[in-house]
Structure 1
Amino acid sequence: MSIELIEIADSVRDRGDINGAIELYQQAVKQWTKAINENPGETESHMYLAVSYSGLGACYCERKDYDKAEPDDIDKTEHFFGVAQGMLERLFVDTQNYEVLLHLIVTLQNQAILALEQSDIARCEQNIEALDKWVKQLKSFEGIVNKPVLAEAVQNKIRADIARKQGRHEVAIDFIERAIELANRAKAHHLGRSEANLWLELLCYLAEIHTELKQFSQGLNVLKTAIHYLEFFTDSPILLNMTKISQLAVMTQYHFLLRKTGASVSELDDIAERAANLLDKTPEIHYDQMSKLRMRYNQEFDDNL
């Protein structure tokens, strides 16, 4: 049976059509449930049923921030993530399948992030501690390089989130610098969508922490690394397509820090133009992260465009 329905649901969700994605994930649940009934011993069917439930959890988690959110979206988020986690844990114990473990880690990381959004630090830390065990097992698979490194980078990012939320910014910086080092290692090994975006997002995150601390020059220096890297790949449409949202976030933050550090008008205009070009290439994306980024973009560039 094909996983095409899940892939379409993922794509629809990425475009911001959360309700449309929910319908597709629900169809996928029915599809894989039927497959399990027909062949109960098929590992793939159990795994993709769990992935479908995890997709539903992610959708309700994202929808809770929208105007059209429903009162029970949080409950549905926790329910579907919980169902997916239970299925994947049992399946991994039975099969020791690498892909199952990878999906389990992603589901648990989403749960940790949800707990943090709810300011439930204790539950988030419990999730992270549980995740450490699974990430360690992920590293034990021979021939698998990038996925464990990326998973560990995300772990450090979540720990940085916890420290930042607690006002321990220097600790957050330590964690995020570790995450950047790991993401850079993964990017050097294989420059794919996940590697490139995570690295750019982490650099932007570190610059934001420096900005909170009024360390504008340090934040600017962090983002110069990203800017120089992107300039090197100016003629690469593949990289642009893979990272346009992350690039836009970098450009917006970089422009802000240029202003704070007294950059020239020509420097500001150059970044403003590059950001405008990126924004033109992302009109079809409407999900919450992009909406917030557009708002920030408008606030930053109103006087420049």
Structure 2
Amino acid sequence: MTTPRTRKLRLLAVMTAIALATAGCGGDSEEPANGTNANDWPDKIVFAATPSGEARTFDDDYGPFVKALSRDVGIKIETFQAADYAGVIEGMIAGTVDVAQLGAFSYALAVQNGAKIEPSGVRIHAKGDQAGYVIYGMVPTSSAIKGFADFRGKTVCFPDPASTTTLIPLFEFHKAGMTVDKDFKRLTVPAGATIPRTVKRGDCQVGLASQAQLESAIRQGDVKQNDLKVVWEVRAPGSPLATRTELPQDLRNKVREATNRINAEYLEQQGFCTGDACLISASGDYGFIPIDGTYYQVIWDACEATRIDACGPIGS
């Protein structure tokens, strides 16, 4: 369990890292002593996200989007790649991160821990999609498992315990009256993108991963299309772009408007990138659509029901 002292040390480390990451990045003009411009906006804002892993960089995931957001809002944006979601959350609470790409679960944790933030938009995987994403229950093609009821008594691979892709299925297990380590064995595979090949290898009988992760595994050659079959799916709330509510209202409005305008087509039309390089995040998402905070109530409901450690005080 994280102690107050540990939390303070981590927060100090995050603030120091951001200061080092952004130092010396300004233009030639001097910044006003009060750090704001004539419109009472800060001279810059900091955009943060977490590593996507597996040979990708921050610029691969968000470079074109951040450049377009900066141009369309009319403010300089500096980027910060945190080690994990906890670092992003602590930065937003401290006011050293202004805008961040979060997961649905980490958004709820941030709000629970005092972050004054609002969702400026939620990522969608393809043009025309509704908010949220699909989590697949996948098994080897040769498996006799046909659906959710057959998960009872099986070894099930879950991703990071603090991810929405873990929490929402656990909520479904709870509603079905199935208990971890009693009715099924839970095996954690922190790198969710590797779950398809973990299932193929036979380390678990069922794997839980997002549609985008399965598509990526097939695209990268980790598994073939006919290696696995999907026997169950559930929809989960999508990943929000969160903005600090302590920023000026007109700036937040511009961030929201630009966020929901910028998508893969827009980025290519505006000359920021071409082809797949215009897709946003490691999941290769199309863009964002508007959403409000009530959309994430299911996270609190799931935490209250499951009481998993990763939820912390949520629902208690």
TM-score range, shorter chain: under 0.3
Which structure: greater helix fraction? 1
Taking CA–CA contacts closer than 8 Å with sequence separation of 6 or more, which of the two structures ends up with the larger relative contact order? 2
TM-score of the two chains, using structure 2 as the length reference: 0.24
TM-score of the two chains, using structure 1 as the length reference: 0.24
Which structure: greater strand fraction? 2
